[in-house]
């Protein structure tokens, strides 16, 4: 944990959308937040959607939804500041495409309740590096 899942409509490909760049942006922002998101636990992934209906289904609408799953423990101030700033970066990333086509952008986060189960030996690499 934390995980970020980007869902995006495949019709954005013709507009030059580069999903890898968006994933790297999100990952970099999470790592820049210091101890708030331990590097070894960060997962950023994308799901390209090929089946969807948006709004009235009558136009070539597109959307990108980013959902974060995080554990409890971060302050309300941190969450508000981090996710607001990240959403501004996401909007800037899409500014050119947004100006040319119908596009809906959204970002949500969920705080997961305990218990949850996980095993991860990636953390050890980053603990040794510090």
Q: Which parts of the chain are beta strand (E)?
A: 3-9, 43-49, 62-71, 103-112
With a CB cutoff of 8 Å and minimum separation 6, the contacts of 6 are 19, 22, 23, 26, 44, 45, 46, 47, 64, 65, 66
Among all residues, which ones are annotated catalytic?
A: 2
């Amino acid at each position: 944990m934390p995980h970020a899942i980007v869902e995006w409509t495949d019709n954005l490909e013709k507009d030059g959308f580069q999903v890898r760049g968006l994933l790297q942006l999100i990952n970099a922002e999470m790592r820049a937040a210091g101890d708030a998101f331990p590097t070894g636990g960060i997962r950023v992934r994308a799901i390209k959607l090929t089946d969807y209906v948006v709004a009235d289904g009558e136009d070539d609408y597109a959307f990108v939804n980013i959902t974060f799953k995080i554990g409890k423990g971060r302050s309300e101030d941190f969450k508000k500041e981090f996710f607001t700033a990240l959403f501004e970066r996401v909007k800037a990333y899409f500014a050119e495409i947004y100006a040319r086509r119908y596009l809906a952008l959204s970002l949500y986060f969920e705080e997961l309740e305990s218990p949850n189960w996980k095993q991860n030996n990636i953390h050890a690499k980053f603990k040794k590096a510090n």
